[in-house]
Structure 1
Amino acid sequence: MDNTLKNSGASAYVIYASSESPDMRYLTGFSVSDPVVYIKKSGEEGLLILPQMEVERGRREAECPVISRGDAGFFRHLEDKTDPKDATAAMIAEIAGGDIMVPDEFPISLARKLENFCKVNLGRPAVAEMRAVKKADEIKNIRHTQRATEDAIGYAAEIIRNAASDNGELYYNDNPLTSDILRGEIHCYLMKRGFEAHETIVACGKETSMPHNTGSGILVENEPILIDLFPRDTKTGYYADMTRTFVRGEPDRELVRMYNAVKEAWNLGKKKARTGISGSELHNAVVSYFKSQGYESGNEGFTHSLGHGVGLAIHEMPPVSPTDAVLNTGNVVTIEPGLYYSDIGGVRLEDIGMVCKNSFDCFTDYPAELIL
């Protein structure tokens, strides 16, 4: 961060956000619902500025120095200004002591106020680049979330496996087993264990041909059921990500062929992932493999990138995609090839792991079996 500030000529890096901002959570280690100010001056530790009611908790939990808004001068500036944003801007400018750098997500209204005091520059994704290489405690946190993810997928698979069938439609506790019901069961299972999940994909049949269709309606036998789950640990904020495709019953022969091709591509991606390989090389290796098996990449077939980084955000750097982003040791990424056809359905398999010098340390420890 000091190098970024030096190269930009800025005196300080400033964030105004809640801990829903991955950058704020990463730099402070503090969880807070309302937006607060973080200032990192060149050559100094970052400073977290909190309302008085949060100061004691902040000093216990934050990973950086904490002061109150009063000690930072906010109320002194508020005596001269009627708008709290004007006072906040004056407080930030006074502490920064010069031009500042802000992330892309910085509120434009506050940026305009700050421009009355100093120059405001948009920074490169410096913190996102820092977050891309995970430290040992982050790896531990992601592995912990991944274990819960696997348990929840296993729980969902057991519900599907043990569901009653009536003319091919699945029933759970004497009620139709719908995408919404199974999604709710997954979310409740995770919530009881300290994790939260949103927009979980539980799609069945032709719905699976749309990669991000969350799913609706009753689950049925002999059709693909795709579950893509990406929960977050409510305590640490770290995500995991995993996808499996199941069939309860007898899948169509072409679906089995698709599944086998996806499974080979999935293994290929994990085998080739290592430090120094580019996302485009890894992605294109899977594209080439699919082509050799008669599957295209475009509007149908393989329609998305091979993977993405995961951490305090579900999608973060580096992309495993046609871009030339290079994978580095300590990146945590997904490998998730898929094939999608509107007349058949879709198949996707997804694991998560860490890029190592000569290999991929897969965190996922769950089988890939199509038929339940």
Structure 2
Amino acid sequence: MTNCIKIFGMIMLSVSLFACQVRYHVSFETNSETSIDDVTVDDGGSLAQPVDPIKTGHTFLGWFDETLEIPFYFNQSIVTEDLTLYAKWAVNFYTMTYEDFEGNILIVISYPYGTDISSNVIEVPEREGFVVLGWNPLESLTMPAHDIVVTPAYAPIAYDLNLYSDKELVQTLTVTYGQQVTLPLLSDDTLTFLGWTSMNGEVISTYTHNLYQTQALSAVWEYEIEDITYHMVEDKAYLVSYEGNATELVIPDDILGYPVTSIEEDAFKDNQSLISILLGEHVSSIGDFAFSGMEALEYIEMQDQAYELGDLIFYESSKIESMVLSSRISKSLSQLFGGLVSDIPQSLTYIKFASGGPGYSFYFMSQLPFENSIT
């Protein structure tokens, strides 16, 4: 009986002690997309530190009281009441780097996450040949949770590329700045189509538009007759080469209705047969070295409008005896032969001006060898 009473007393004491044990409720306010389960802690017990919560664009600073002023130290504090802990956050700053269309950095600006940057976006730099569209990417006008690089977005401006043949519009192509296009081919029963003239006079079949305006190209045609090759551009003909063996040559005023206006660079260079050349009335320009190295040439006659002369057009043509030149030539005689007075051939004894007078070219007369005469 006595033993039964003792056992019953011990059971009642244990129940009493259990009933008197106090436990407290602890909750966590993360103020973020992360949630942490509530826990219970014995009176006077310590609280295990939970995994740090995560909040986009922020750095977690720790757990605090509701004022976010007093931190809670898990390794030092004991729980003596129900408790709510609050996560404290610091907003992160991220950089926005502005670059121009060549990749050069214009400016780097730091913004806190989530900031409305609509009023802080800098002006997009202008770019010739393009319309400004804005910055790319700018999917939203609030700062994201990462550094970003923005570049200007443009739309190319469309230009007309007008193609002409004999000054008549053949076709208009729409091109944008920097665009390369394959140009159309033309055909003719008499002439051979070579291509189109570029800005520098080169004959091209493809074209890259690098102007900020409408551009025009002209067809280049080729025609060969009597060992002479002509190029026709717009409404003019240009003599580009001679491959014959004649001793005398008269360059026509017109060919197929095109006035022959130019003798191109190197056109007769190193020809060893021609003794006499007469230029047509429309020839106004002669390219560099056009009549150079012609060891048989003795006589050449130009009309008065042939005054646009290149350099050294008679270089190493050492047997020229007489010539008829334009009175409007702006070059000295030595510039036509080699650059020095000594380059003027001793054989040159007769010079006449097509206009019948010295015009503006009298000053190079003094460059002739003393024993030569001018009439």
Shared fold (TM-score, shorter chain, > 0.5): no
The structure with the larger Rg is: 2
Normalising by the residue count of structure 1, what TM-score does the alignment of the two structures yield?
0.21
Name the structure where helix makes up a greater proportion of residues: 1
Name the structure where strand makes up a greater proportion of residues: 2
